[in-house]
Homo-oligomer: A and B are copies of this chain.
Amino acid sequence: MQVNGVPYRSIWLDANQAKVHVIDQTRLPFCFETRVLTTAEQAADAIYNMIVRGAPLIGATAACGLYLACAQDASDQALKHRATTLLASRPTAVNLRWAVQRMIPVLLAAPTAQREAKARELAQRICDEDVDLNSAIGDHGLELIRSLSEDRSGATVHVLTHCNAGWLATVDWGTALSPIFKAYDAGIDVHVWVDETRPRNQGASLTAWELGAHGIAHTIIADNAGGHLMQHGDVDICIVGSDRTTRTGDVCNKIGTYLKALAAHDNRVPFYAALPSSTVDWTLRDGLRDIPIEQRPSDEVTCISGIDHAGAIQKIRITPTGSAAANPAFDVTPRHLVSGIITERGVCEASESGLLRLFPEQNT
């Protein structure tokens, strides 16, 4: 998407060298800065420290990290070691494993001397495919928003989203935000309630920044506010992303998603998860039991960054010294609270039969 009129992806391969460029998402919305990654270790650090984040972008970064690994040392042993490092960088997003499992067998089967070129080609393909998948997700989700707009005779459609599942969470377009970008571009009157998404505030920083840059009306709210808005009829649809979804339709996403799904269910607001099929973990049936939930550092809760009156980025502590904090990063929304899943092949029920109808090749 565009940043100050210049088209960007969130990650791209350097045209000439074994380098990967990413947008430093820890600096947004205050500074737009890019970083250069030259090793797989740097790619893993960028994932762990959330310079890049969002399940699809984590997958793309892992793919690019394997390309860098091949440029560092294309031997079997070195490649496997660096793949392990990349896999360990974040435990919840299944796209990370998906990207590594897609590339490693192909690379190991290739002659060592050809691995770097092969890895570059595969990483580029994974990035390009992600863009196409997310565009397709947007086209399918657009129809849900269009239908709500028609039901409301063209009056504003109010969408609530949690965290950032926009183009910054993917290579381009986004998952949950892709239908919103497409709806806006199609002339539909849309307004987005943006959950700030504590503790890392990806909503208030990244989602608000993306929507603002595209000119889409939006209002930031505390994570506590969405239930109240739904009680009062101020939300027409919730659309969120996912970091891992089971074959049965349980949706793991940023912590707090489950609370919004409960409120949507209680107030009969449709609640959709938008995700590429690479986010589906076809090996899992019970999301609550089987999806590992990352516990992140407590200082993400006790401290927060922002801009001071002089325009400098400051990190401040917002809790008493001596108080502990816990920081589970994701939760699981059981499928019965999910109205449907928006994928690159269409919208389906959040169930095994629904997903298998769209992805029959997984019926194994």
* B-binding residues in A (CB < 8 A): 29, 193-194, 196-199, 201, 204-205, 208-209, 211-212, 218-229, 231-232, 254-256, 258-260, 262-263, 266, 288, 293, 301-309, 314-320, 322-328, 330-332
Q: Are B222 and A319 in contact (CB-based, < 8 A)?
A: no
**Bound: A221/B328 CA distance, A:** 9
Q: Please tell me if the beta carbons of B201 and A318 are within 8 angstroms of each other in the complex.
A: yes
Closest to A309 in B: B315
Assess whether A332 is in contact with B258, with CB atoms less than 8 Å apart: no
Nearest-Cβ distance from residue A217 to partner chain B, whole angstroms: 8
How many identical subunits does the complex contain?
2
Which residues of B have CB within 8 Å of A307?
316-318
Asked if A302 and B220 make an inter-chain contact with CB atoms under 8 angstroms apart, the answer reads yes
Q: How far is the CB of A162 from chain B (nearest CB, A)?
A: 8
A306 touches B318 (CB 8 A): yes
> How many Å lie between the Cα of A227 and that of B330 in the bound state?
11
Known: A220-B301, A262-B263, A266-B262. A208 touches B306 (CB 8 A): no
Task: Among A204, A222, A317, A331, find the residue whose CB has the most chain B CB atoms closer than 10 A.
Answer: A222
Distance, CA A208 to CA B318, complexed state (A): 11
A219 touches B325 (CB 8 A): yes
Name the CB-closest residue of B to A306.
B316
**Is the CB–CB distance between A225 and B328 below 8 Å?**
yes
- A317-B196 Cα distance, complex, nearest whole Å: 13
Is the pair A256, B231 in contact by a Cβ cutoff of 8 Å? no
Closest 3 A/B residue pairs (Cβ): A224-B256, A306-B316, A29-B320
Most chain-B CB neighbours within 10 Å: which of A221, A317, A319? Answer: A319
Are the CB atoms of A204 and B318 closer together than 8 Å? yes
Q: How far is the CA of A323 from the CA of B317 in the complex (A)?
A: 24
Which residue of B221, B293, B319 contacts A325 across the interface (Cβ within 8 Å)? B221
**Least CB separation from A320: chain B residue:** B29
On whether the beta carbons of A316 and B323 are closer than 8 Å, the reply is: no
Among B211, B212, B255, B323, point to the contact of A222 (Cβ < 8 A): B255
Closest to A197 in B: B224
Question: Could you list 8 A-B pairs, sorted by A, with CB under 8 Å?
Answer: A198-B223, A220-B319, A220-B326, A221-B327, A223-B256, A304-B304, A308-B314, A314-B314
Query: What's the least CB distance linking A165 to chain B, in Å?
Result: 15
